[in-house]
Amino acid sequence: MRDTLDTTEEISTGRRQFTQGVAALGGLAIAPGVFLYHAAGAKPDDQAVSSQQRWGMLVNTNNCHEECDACVTACNEENGVWSLGRPETDAQWIRKLNVRDRQTGHVTSMPMMCQHCEHPPCVDVCPTRASFRREDGIVLVNKHTCIGCRYCMMACPYKARSFIHEPLQDQLPHSPRGKGCVESCTLCVHKVDQGDNTTACAEACAEEGHEALLFGDLNDPESEISKRLEKYGGTQIRADLGLNTGVRYQGI
């Protein structure tokens, strides 16, 4: 019992830890070999998402190439985040960072996007509750209630959100976007909901042969992402803020 709770603590801090721990115990084993949680995959369309899953991403910066931006291109294509030709105000759902160590000259390359925090500051500050965390851990903007105040953009320590300043057109059906709303990485929520079990950026990264991005269910101990995190660990960026991010990094 103690072990299971300890494992839970690694990926969940704060008040919800206890209830989640109990839920995890309940889900793990009813009888030997009988599991309550779903294997990662398609949920029925008419079923609401649940906290049995917590979707997350593991970024292995050792595999991430400085000159490659396949993840960014794939994200823009998938979600219809076209450039309007003005980089200062163009939306960015994911961007590449190259961080150089002045002492050694070593350059670490990594993508930066919404970290899908368990305790998201953007949700705390939103005056209309448009910024919210879905049961399965994906942090989203409900654009129907977003008033474009941009408090969330100021609150986000990762600069993950963008504001749309201009009227848009040719939006894709699965990714409605428009002027006056804040938006950010959705962890390809439309793909997650149809059971793809991956994101556009992770797919593109794998196609490039880099495999620096791994999407998966942090709550499923059998998932590849959980196994890798358990074995090798993963760093949260700004872990000091105690946000328990769903996106973890290795090699930084």
Secondary-structure breakdown of the chain: helix, strand, coil percentages, each rounded to the nearest 5: 30, 15, 55
Q: How far is the CB of 242 from other proteins (least distance, A)?
A: 25
Binders of other proteins in range 159-198 (CB under 8 A):
166-174, 176-179, 181, 189-190, 193-194
User: Pairing mode, if any, of strands 182-183 and 55-60?
Assistant: unpaired
Nearest approach in angstroms of CB 245 to other proteins is: 21
Q: Does 148 bind other proteins (CB under 8 A)?
A: no
The whole-angstrom separation of Cα 156 and Cα 122 is 6
Q: How far is the CB of 7 from other proteins (least distance, A)?
A: 26
2 and 234 Cβ atoms separated by less than 8 Å: no
Positive or negative, the Cα torsion across 219, 220, 222, 223? Answer: negative
119 versus 133: smaller Cβ distance to other proteins: 133
CB of 43 to other proteins, least distance (A): 8
Stretch 66-95: interaction string toward other proteins, x if CB under 8 A: ----------------xxxx----------
For residue 101, give Cα distances in angstroms to 6, 65, 73.
Answer: 34, 16, 27
Using the minimum distance from each CB to other proteins, give the nearer residue, 7 or 69.
69
Nearer to other proteins, 180 or 233 (CB): 180
Nearer to other proteins, 64 or 122 (CB): 122
3-state class (DSSP) for residue 79: helix
Long-range contacts, stretch 39-48, CB < 8 angstroms, 24+ apart? 39/220, 39/222, 40/197, 40/216, 40/217, 40/220, 40/223, 41/195, 41/197, 42/194, 42/195, 43/193, 43/195, 45/193, 48/135
Which 218-237 positions form the footprint of other proteins (CB under 8 A)? none
Task: Specify whether the CB–CB gap between 148 and 126 falls below 8 A.
Answer: no
Shortest gap between Cβ of 142 and other proteins (angstroms)? 5
State the minimum distance, in angstroms, from the CB of residue 135 to other proteins. 8
Residue 41 touches other proteins, criterion: CB under 8 A? no
Specify the residue, 149 or 168, whose C-beta has the smaller distance to other proteins.
168
Among 3, 46, 67, 101, binds other proteins (CB under 8 A): 46
Residues contacting other proteins: total by CB under 8 A: 36
* Beta-carbon count within 10 A of 195 CB: 12
Q: At what angle do helices 16-28 and 2-11 cross, to 10 degrees?
A: 120
Site for other proteins, rule CB under 8 A: 43, 45-49, 82-85, 132, 134-136, 140, 142-144, 166-174, 176-179, 181, 189-190, 193-194
